[in-house]
Chains A and B, each alone.
Chain A
Amino acid sequence: MSGQKHLLDVRGLKEYFPVKSGMLNKMLLKAVDDVSFTIDEGETLGLVGESGCGKTTVGRTLLYLYKPTAGEVYFDGQLVTEKNIGDFRKDMQIVFQDPYSSLNPRMTVADIIGEPLDIHKLYSSKKERADRIAELLTLVGLNSEHANRYAHEFSGGQRQRIGIARALAVNPRFIVCDEPVSALDVSIQAQIINTFEDLQQKLGIAYLFIAHDLLVVQHMSRRIAVMYLGRIVEIGPAGDIIGSPVHPYTESLISAIPMPDPETARHKHRIILEGDVPSPLRMPKGCPFRTRCRYATKECEESRPELKEIAPDRFVACHNR
């Protein structure tokens, strides 16, 4: 896109899962298909889309937790490959969606947070390790006396903080936050989101912030990318996307945001999507959204729209916009 150096530059990322259909047939499930985006130092890119559209897969594939089918990931200008990913593990981290299954039930909090320290040998004495663990616990708003407890003794919100502390242990420059609040109560969500923001201000970490709640993403991010069935359909500055969505899918997502003020809500026109979500195994020809799109035309059936720049830093994949 532009010539300036980005912290993270993802180009043409694809992740196809082989899935069995029937006895011997194997089909490819295109969970992520040709996704490109960039993230700058200390910036947050929000990634939204409905369940199953491939958000988690994007986050995991760019960290090489899944082997990408195709595409390149550049971190700080360097190409990341399967061979050298070990060198980047200290810089790129992830916070998981499910605070229950992401912490090993057989390890104490100190061991969970201490594991990245052990792996990268980030301390010279036992005391230094314990001090660093206590420091991390305080940083995410937990009591450092909890270090010797087991994860199952904590609430969901507390566990998510432990997961954040673990990701922070190696001083990463970039964290994939995979729906870090969707499993939590609304009141706790706000606390965790504030924790993320504080950390960004203090430590200058860049986030890929995945969520399906647009309000949360808008609050967190400078830019937003909207995904539909494995592709990015619209990407641009957060305010513009929320204020004047261009892609029909984004439009319907935004019309579905619950309004805090009943007066505005009454005047709001809500677009209800009709038609079914196509199976990711049998993607329709042409525009993947056309089965549910109000503006679909003949052209949409024939060719797939590519991302076009419609305004500075604003890209949309639609024929009729």
Chain B
Amino acid sequence: MSDYNPNIPPKKRPFSLQLDPAKFEPATDEEKAQQEVMRESTTFFRDGMRKLFHNPLAVGSMIVLLVILVTIVIAPLIVPYSYSGMITVDGKRDKSAKNLPPFTYSKLEQQAIDNGETVFPHIFGTDELCRDYFIRVIYGARVSLSVGFFASLIVLIIGLLYGSIAGYAGGRTDLIMMRIVDIIYSLPDTLMVILLSVVLDQLLGQSLQNTALASIGPNMLSMFAVFGLLYWVGMARLVRGQILSIKNNEYVLAAQAMGAKPGRIIRRHILPNCMSVIIISTALQIPSAIFTESFLSFIGLGVQAPMPSLGSLANSARQALQAYPYKMIFPAVGICLIVLSFNLLGDGLRDAFDPKLRK
């Protein structure tokens, strides 16, 4: 034992279960120094963004959404057709432009081209009322996306207010408020959505005539009302749960022990710690709202004709599915792309910002 040298690892005995010391090599000074350096200081936000941009699915869906967004903003400025009117050639309504396949021209248009005029191509063809189908899909996507955003916004506002009141107040107030939530939660939501939109549609339809809101259409408004009445409960539960769990953290007690007033505790300690979860869940709410809207439009309770939405386009395409299958494909692919991208983006946000998943 006297000739023990710490720099030469001892030999492993043949039947020993110990790790073979020869397989290890001593750390170099450089490596040792590396251990001591602390991890680069980053803010929570920057760290989250870095993670988000390293997630290929999230980046891919962001790109897809960006492309869709740019298209639906710019396309109506470039394409010279309207979503509601028949195609016209030299001021005349073109009755021959019915159910054209993509990138084809009607007889009148063909004549105009032969005369040396330029006619903008029908990228997705035309529908049975001689309207350009591309612009209708674009407008449909616009409607679907805005329904998604506004519905989520309504859900966020109602849920945030209701949930934070229940969470802060606690006790009996909390008990009563949460029982109401439980009741709404237990209603079969598809059925309620259908019933509510039928009833609201008629109520709103009469009272809205000749007001500014009429242009949005009673169907669209009743859809927002449905979201406002039914879907906030999930958000309210989430917010309340967050606030309850954060309220009991020791750092909140520490702030109280310092003499911090409730306003300061809410602003500095509670809100910053539940914001990321709330934003993530709002992002995930968007695709579900879009999906519900498409579904309602598909069964004829959604937006009012001639205003298209992806769901109502798919519905009308269904009637002539065998003759013109491409008419179903465009809106269907649109819905899928939008819903999938938002879901993937929401997942990416959660992975990047949820404090519980942080490493």
Interface contact B41-A63, CB-CB below 8 Å: no
> Which of B5-13, B58-66, B249-257, B305-313 contacts the other chain?
B249-257
Contact between A170 and B258, CB atoms less than 8 A apart: yes
Q: How large is the interface on A (under 10, 10 to 19, 20 to 34, 35 or more residues)?
A: 20 to 34
Judged by a CB distance under 8 angstroms, whether B116 is at the interface is no
Whether A149 lies near B38 (C-beta < 8 A) is yes
Contact of A153 among B41, B251, B256, B273 (CB under 8 A): B41
- Name A residues whose Cβ lies closer than 8 Å to a Cβ of B: 60, 63, 65, 86, 89-90, 92-94, 96-98, 101-107, 115-116, 119-120, 148-150, 152-153, 163, 166, 170
Q: Which residues of B contact A (CB under 8 A)?
A: 38-39, 41-44, 249-251, 253-260, 264, 268-269, 272-273, 355, 358
A89–B258 touching, CB < 8 Å: yes
Query: Which listed residue, A90, A101, A119, A170, touches B250 by the CB 8 Å rule?
Result: A101
Closest beta carbon of chain A to B267's beta carbon, Å = 12
Q: Which of the listed residues B41, B254, B273 has the most CB atoms from chain A within 10 Å of its own CB?
A: B254
Closest chain B residue to A111, Cβ basis: B268
Q: Is the CB of A115 within 8 A of B255?
A: yes
Q: Is the CB of B38 within 8 A of A89?
A: no
A96 near B273: Cβ-Cβ < 8 Å: no
Across the A-B interface, the 4 shortest Cβ-Cβ residue pairs: A89-B259, A102-B250, A106-B272, A116-B258
Q: In the complex, A104→B38 CA distance in Å?
A: 20
Contact B273 A115 (CB under 8 A): no
Question: What are some 6 contacts across the A-B interface (CB < 8 A)?
Answer: A63-B257, A94-B257, A102-B249, A115-B260, A150-B41, A152-B358
In whole angstroms, how far apart are the Cα atoms of A63 and B38 in the complex? Answer: 36
B264 surroundings in chain A (CB, below 8 A):
119
Interface contact B259-A90, CB-CB below 8 Å: yes
Question: Bound state CA distance, A86 and B268, in angstroms?
Answer: 19
Q: Is the CB of A101 within 8 A of B257?
A: no
Are B253 and A106 in contact, CB atoms less than 8 angstroms apart?
Answer: no
Task: Return the chain A residue nearest B273 by Cβ.
Answer: A106
Verify A150–B43 contact, CB threshold 8 A.
yes
A102/B41 contact (C-beta < 8 A), A86-B259, A90-B259, A119-B264 known: no
B266 to chain A, nearest CB (A): 13
Q: Which residues from B are CB-within-8-Å of A150?
A: 41-44
Closest chain A CB from B59 CB (angstroms): 25
Chain B nearest Cβ from A319, distance in angstroms: 38
CB distance from B171 to the nearest CB of A (A): 10
Chain B residue contacts of A94, Cβ below 8 A: 253-254, 257
Also in contact, A103 and B251, with CB within 8 A (given A148-B41, A149-B38, A150-B43): yes
A187 to chain B, nearest CB (A): 17
Kindly identify which residue among B39, B43, B253, B355 contacts A60, using a CB–CB cutoff of 8 Å. B253
B358: chain A residues within 8 A (beta carbon): 152
A150 to B48, CA, bound (A): 14
* A180 to B: closest C-beta gap in Å: 12
Q: Who on chain B is nearest to A170 by CB?
A: B258
Q: How far is the CA of A103 from the CA of B253 in the complex (A)?
A: 10
Expressed in whole angstroms, the Cα–Cα distance for A166 and B272 within the complex equals 20
Assembly CA distance A104 to B355 (angstroms): 12
**Contact, CB under 8 Å: B259 / A166:** no
User: Could you tell me if B38 and A105 are in contact, using CB atoms closer than 8 angstroms?
Assistant: no
Contacts of A60 in B (CB 8 A): 253
CA distance A170 to B254 in the complex (A): 13
- Measured CA separation A93–B264 after assembly (Å): 18
B250 to chain A, nearest CB (A): 4
Expressed in whole angstroms, the Cα–Cα distance for A153 and B42 within the complex equals 9
Option from B41, B256, B259, B269 in Cβ contact (under 8 Å) with A104? B269
Contact in complex: A96, B253 (CB < 8 Å): yes
Bound Cα distance A115, B251 (Å): 11
Given the complex of chains A and B, what is the CA–CA distance between A89 and B268 in angstroms?
A: 19
User: Bound complex: CA of A28 vs CA of B356, how far in Å?
Assistant: 34
Q: Most chain-A Cβ atoms within 10 A of its Cβ — which of B42, B43, B258?
A: B258
Q: Residues of B contacting A98 with CB < 8 Å?
A: 250
In the complex, which residues of chain A have a beta carbon less than 8 angstroms from the beta carbon of B259?
86, 89-90, 116, 119-120
Tell whether, in the assembled complex, residue B253 and residue A104 are in contact, meaning their CB atoms are under 8 Å apart.
no
Residues on the B chain within 8 Å of A101, using CB: 249-251
Known A-B contacts A104-B273, A105-B355, A120-B259; A96 and B44 likewise in contact (beta carbons under 8 Å): no
CB distance from B24 to the nearest CB of A (A): 24
CA distance A28 to B171 in the complex (A): 16
Residues in chain A near residue B257, CB distance under 8 A: 63, 65, 89, 92-94
Across the two chains, which residue of chain A brings its CB closest to B261? A119
Q: How far is the CB of A8 from chain B (nearest CB, A)?
A: 15
B36 to chain A, nearest CB (A): 12
- Closest-by-CB residue of B relative to A94 is B257
Counting chain A CB atoms within 10 Å of each CB, the highest count among B250, B273, B355 belongs to B250
Rounded to whole angstroms, the CA-CA distance of A119 and B259 in the bound complex is 7
Note all chain B residues with C-beta closer than 8 A to A89.
Answer: 257-259
Q: How far is the CA of A86 from the CA of B62 in the complex (A)?
A: 50
With beta carbons under 8 angstroms apart, the residue of A93, A102, A148 that contacts B251 is A102
CA distance A226 to B249 in the complex (A): 27
- Bound state CA distance, A15 and B254, in angstroms? 19
In the bound complex, CA of A97 to CA of B257 (Å) = 14
Q: How far is the CB of B246 from chain A (nearest CB, A)?
A: 10
